[in-house]
Amino acid sequence: MTKDDIPVAVYSGTNMEAVFLKSLLEGSHIPASLADMSFKGDVDVRVCVAQRDVERARPIVDHFREHGKKTPHF
């Protein structure tokens, strides 16, 4: 595994939000994975992409944060 392959968390939120954002990223040809970060009953799901994809993922993640569950048009 190279440094570019290391997963980086680009978003943290509810399971539903994380699954939706993962779908948006993958629809833009950016592989993504989910990491469940449960802590004392609170569920926090992180969306991760490879280090090499962080810059390409950033506009999609930023749009998602700003506009919620609306589908971005890139």
Distance set, CA 63 to CA 2, 4, 11, 48 (Å): 29, 24, 12, 16
Any idea which residue has 């004392």 for tokens? 40
DSSP string, 47-59: EEEEGGGHHHHHH
Residue of 13, 18, 11 lying closest to 44 (CA atoms): 13
Predicted TM-score (pTM) of the model is 0.83
Structure confidence by residue, pLDDT tens digits, 32-65: 999 987 665 567 899 999 999 999 999 999 999 9
| Number of helical H runs and strand E runs in the chain | 2, 3
Domains within the chain, CATH numbers bracketed: 3-67 (3.30.70.1530)
